[in-house]
């Protein structure tokens, strides 16, 4: 099945790929191994996983997609098992983020709401309302105080997590499919249905428009050092850009739409998930 979601563990050993009805776990310390070490059956068999996120300790995986439930997996047991499910009123979850302290999970809902979950008590504690169409993408500041969300309503919004309110709204002429907040602060990169990538300064009017994709920009991720970021597209491209002005660092053409990406915590590996049923791991040589 197509690989709609990918995430890479810290330390870099396992890659998790989300497809139709399941997440597969791969051991990349044995590159020749072409079979997954385990398979986590989530959602219904015919529903696609849209996002999977590891808690910082690597012992828990949260999975969301074309279902009203998020599943929380315990990876510390010999065989991974579901330890909880979170049920929302929205029919689908498009993206997930975890707070740096692992206490809270944020889910981007197809109804435009951002659901805020207490992971300890497994309860819905708040909903951020504002997007007038599906919320498609999300990122959180390194200090855990601010959330950024993008929507199919052509807006990017920022939210104050301490006060529980919307801070800013940026309006675009295209649906927002992906975004990333630079770990070192100041810059937000936004990937659009129109094929543009825009890099905005979060407090000043400075912005850069990057035009290397030929179709919608499906995923985007900053390196942990903040000096570069990657974007992937329906045009089969993986692009790496310098922060913030977007000088092209490298480009890779895959054989199908590149739907998802992640970067390892040491910035040495990029993993992508594609429409032709494969995930690709790139080693970054500095």
pLDDT at residue 1, as a whole number: 81
pLDDT at residue 177, as a whole number: 99
pLDDT at residue 120, as a whole number: 96
**Alpha-carbon distance 45 to 48, whole Å?**
8
Structural domains of the chain, with CATH: 1-87 (2.40.10.480)
Are 241 and 249 in contact, with CB atoms under 8 Å apart?
Answer: yes
pLDDT at residue 34, as a whole number: 83
Are 151 and 157 in contact, with CB atoms under 8 Å apart?
Answer: yes
pLDDT at residue 56, as a whole number: 93
pLDDT band at 223 (very low <50, low <70, confident <90, very high): very high
pLDDT at residue 19, as a whole number: 96
Cis ω on the peptide bond leading into residue 87 (within 30° of 0)?
no
Range 169-187 average pLDDT: 97
pLDDT at residue 32, as a whole number: 80
As a whole number, the mean pLDDT across the chain is 96
List Cβ neighbours of 74 (8 Å cut-off, separation of 6 or more). 59, 60, 80, 81, 82, 83
Are 193 and 219 in contact, with CB atoms under 8 Å apart?
Answer: no
pLDDT above 90 (res 102): yes
List Cβ neighbours of 150 (8 Å cut-off, separation of 6 or more). 135, 136, 137, 138, 156, 176, 177, 178, 179, 190
Alpha-carbon Rg for the chain in angstroms: 17
Most distant CA pair in the chain: distance in Å?
51
pLDDT band at 31 (very low <50, low <70, confident <90, very high): confident
Are 81 and 73 in contact, with CB atoms under 8 Å apart?
Answer: yes
Handedness of CA 25, 151, 149, 269 (dihedral sign): positive
pLDDT at residue 81, as a whole number: 96
Q: Pick from 235, 191, 243: which is nearest to 217 by CA? A: 191
pLDDT above 90 (res 66): yes
Alpha helices in the chain (DSSP H): none
- Predicted confidence (pLDDT) per residue in 105-156, tens digit: 999 999 999 999 999 999 999 999 999 999 999 999 999 999 999 999 999 9
pLDDT above 90 (res 257): yes
pTM value?
0.96
pLDDT band at 45 (very low <50, low <70, confident <90, very high): confident
Range 78-83 average pLDDT: 94
The number of CA neighbours under 13 Å toward the Cβ of 159 is 23
pLDDT above 90 (res 254): yes
Q: Give the SS3 label for residue 33.
A: coil
Range 271-283 average pLDDT: 96
pLDDT above 90 (res 224): yes
**Alpha-carbon distance 269 to 8, whole Å?**
9
């Amino acid at each position: 099945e197509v690989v709609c979601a990918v995430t890479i563990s810290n330390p870099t050993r396992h890659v998790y790929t989300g497809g139709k009805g399941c997440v597969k776990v791969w051991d990349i310390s044995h590159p020749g191994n072409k079979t997954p070490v385990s398979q986590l059956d989530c959602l219904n068999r015919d529903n696609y996983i849209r996002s999977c996120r590891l808690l910082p300790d690597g012992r828990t995986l949260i999975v969301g997609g074309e279902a009203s439930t998020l599943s929380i997996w315990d990876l510390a047991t010999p065989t991974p098992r579901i330890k909880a499910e979170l049920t929302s009123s929205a029919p689908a979850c498009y993206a997930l983020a975890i707070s740096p302290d692992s206490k809270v999970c944020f889910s981007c809902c197809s109804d435009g709401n951002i659901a805020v979950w207490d992971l300890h008590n497994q309860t819905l504690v708040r909903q951020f309302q504002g997007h007038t169409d599906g919320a498609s993408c999300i990122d959180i500041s390194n200090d855990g105080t601010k959330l950024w969300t993008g929507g199919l309503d052509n807006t990017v919004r920022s939210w104050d997590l301490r006060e529980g309110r919307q801070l800013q709204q940026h309006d675009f002429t295209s649906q927002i499919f992906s975004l990333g907040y630079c770990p070192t602060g100041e810059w937000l990169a936004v990937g659009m249905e129109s094929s543009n990538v825009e890099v905005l300064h979060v407090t000043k009017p400075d912005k850069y428009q990057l035009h290397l994709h030929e179709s919608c920009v499906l995923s985007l991720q900053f390196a942990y050092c903040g000096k570069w970021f990657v974007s992937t597209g329906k045009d089969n491209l993986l692009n790496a850009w310098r922060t913030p002005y977007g000088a092209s660092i490298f480009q890779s053409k895959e054989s199908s739409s590149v739907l998802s990406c992640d970067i390892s915590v040491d910035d040495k590996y990029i993993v992508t998930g594609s429409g032709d049923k494969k995930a690709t791991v790139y080693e970054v040589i500095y």
